[in-house]
Amino acid sequence: MVSRRDALKTITGGLSLGLAGVAANHATRPGVLTEFVDAPSLQTGPDTWPAPRHDNQNSNRNPHAAISSTPPRLAWETTVPGATSLTVAPETVVVGRKTDPQTVTALARSGGTTEWSVTSEPAESAETVPEPTTWKSASSEPSPSTTSEQDRGNPSVPWVSLAGDAAFVNFGEGIVRVDRQRGERTARIGHRPSLAPPVLANDRLYRFGNRLTCFDGAGTLQWTQTLSVPAIRYAVRAGHDSLVAGHPYSIPLTAYRQTADPWQSILDRSREIPRKTAIRWENHFLPNRGPLLDEARVYAVGQVPSDTPGSVVRAVDPSDGDRVWQQSLGTTHENEANAAVFSDHLLVTDGVRVVTSVDTASGEIRRTVRLDDRSGEGYIRAFVGGESSALLGWSDGGLERVPVAGSGRWRLETPPVDSLALTENHAYAIHSPAERETVVRRYDLS
């Protein structure tokens, strides 16, 4: 009979040989992209906007951005065809572009000049694609046979997240790591894009598709969980061991465990986690915006099946998913509702012309601002939070400041606004002028 000690020796010996083989097969070779070995960790600061919704809590707010009570000054404008997503690093503005092929472009923050551009490579098509077990260079990774339409997701959304000296770009070919200093591709993970902005947190990268997939900082597959409907819109990291995902309209707000059982990781090479193991809790609420997170709660805006008509904002306990409070917001424009987390309240838009302040402790409505005094048929398309106010971008043109309390609203005439990002002293915007290519602008806030 084999003793437990001998069995462990056999397992660990096999693992050592396997890891040695991986190292041998992925040694750096001239002319080949290097293997990704840096630990991804999203970095935020006063002068950055490193992810589509600013941070891993999806707060959609830079608390250091002081939006002055007087309209900002236009600093520069640059034409960037196909611009669709914005992130801001200390030296550059990194723009994801919906072009053919997809492109990511870095602009100098000082004047808007192009520093570098990287384009995507053709996406492989296949029925099934094996999950990689390590980060690999694009040129050394085996090609798959095909990818389903669900796996490809929406390759027209090149989200960008910034971690350290790298930009992680969601191309149709997969998630590509780009060196921000040199503007060079250095790695790619798999052959699948993410259907929602990938989450980079504590040496983990989470990708969303028909599976929720977790990789560690060395690029090793940690676990994967098959989803019945690949519809995660946003996800946040809650505590040290959960990832809360918002599946709009079809699946409840769900918390997934961040780590798998170690014995299963060793013995099950597929790393597929059974649903009952992967799911920490579910809250029967269908979010169309969120989740968002602060130190105490998870928040989401959406609908409650067979309950309150119209949209509501709900707060749940991140440890067990129990509802803490719920507040009705009335009818919300489903695709455009937005929110930002402030120190003790949420600012929530109805997606049309109403901004509501909701107390995060009690769920009580503190203030409602109706923006019916503007002309035109536009609606609130872009929305970000600053230190003590929010900046709105209108679909038919214009930027507007809405203070959390008191006065100080202003409007600035601009082309239609698609996206916004805030740093300590600047606002960055993607605009869609009529009959012109998209432009990126920087505004000085003070």
Here the tokens at position 75 are 């600093």
Confidence of residue 254 (pLDDT cuts 50, 70, 90): confident
CATH of domain 33-444: 2.130.10.10
DSSP 170: E
Mean pLDDT score, 397-401: 95
For residue 161 the two structure tokens come to 């997240």
- Please tell me the predicted confidence (pLDDT) of residue 245: 78
Q: Does the structure show a pLDDT above 80 at 415?
A: yes
**DSSP sequence for 123-146:** PP--S--PPPSS-B-TTTSPP-S-
What DSSP character marks residue 241?
T
Written as one letter, the residue type at 407 is S
Percentage of residues of the chain with pLDDT beyond 90: 39
Report the pLDDT value the prediction gives residue 272, as an integer from 0 to 100.
60
Q: 128-186: per-residue pLDDT in tens?
A: 333 333 333 333 333 333 322 222 335 468 999 998 888 999 998 888 889 999 999 98
136 CB-near residues (< 8 Å, 6+ apart): 26, 35, 187, 188, 189, 219
Lowest mean pLDDT among 102-111, 318-327, 415-424: 318-327
The helix/strand/coil state of 248 is coil
pLDDT at position 13 over 50: no
HSE-up (13 A, CA, CB side) for residue 66? 3
Q: How far apart are CA 100 and CA 313, in angstroms?
A: 38
Residue with tokens 């987390």: 341
- Tell whether the model's pLDDT for residue 62 goes beyond 60: yes
- Sorting pLDDT into bands at 50, 70 and 90, what band is 113? very high
Phi then psi for residue 145, to 5 deg, are -85, -50
Strands 311-316, 298-303: parallel, antiparallel or unpaired by DSSP?
Answer: antiparallel
Backbone angles phi, psi at 310, to 5 degrees: 75, -170
Greater model confidence, 103 or 300 = 103
**Separation CA 299–CA 278 (nearest Å):** 21
Instruction: Say yes or no to pLDDT of 6 above 60.
Output: no
Evaluate the CA torsion angle 403, 69, 395, 55 in order and state its sign: negative
Residue 268: pLDDT band with limits 50, 70, 90: very low
Whether residue 276 has pLDDT greater than 70 = no
**Residue 142 contacts residue 30 (beta carbons within 8 Å):** no
Taking the C-alpha atoms of residue 360 and residue 362, their distance in angstroms, rounded to an integer, is 6
User: What's the CA gap between 306 and 165, in Å, rounded?
Assistant: 48
- How high is the pLDDT of residue 239? 60
pLDDT of residue 309: 62
- Residue 170: phi, psi to the nearest 5? -90, 85
pLDDT > 90? residue 109: yes
Mean pLDDT of 1-15: 38
Q: What is the model's pLDDT at position 225?
A: 75
Residue 81 above 50 pLDDT? yes
DSSP per-residue string spanning 38-100: SPP-----TT-B-STTSSTT---B-TT----SS--EEEEEEE-TTEEEEEE-SSEEEEEE--S
The segment with the largest mean pLDDT, out of 14-18, 53-57, 88-92, 302-306, is 88-92
Tell me, what's the pLDDT at 70?
93
d(CA 254, CA 278): 10
Q: Where are the domains of the chain?
A: 33-444
191 within 8 A of 147, measured Cβ to Cβ? yes
Instruction: Return the pLDDT at 382.
Output: 93
Chain-centre distance for alpha carbon 43: 13
Q: What is the pTM of this model?
A: 0.81
The pLDDT score that the predictor gives to residue 107 is: 98
Residue with tokens 């990689």: 132
Q: What is the mean pLDDT of residues 106-119?
A: 97
Q: What is the mean pLDDT of the chain?
A: 76
What are the pLDDT digits (tens) for 203-234? 778 888 777 787 766 566 777 777 665 456 66
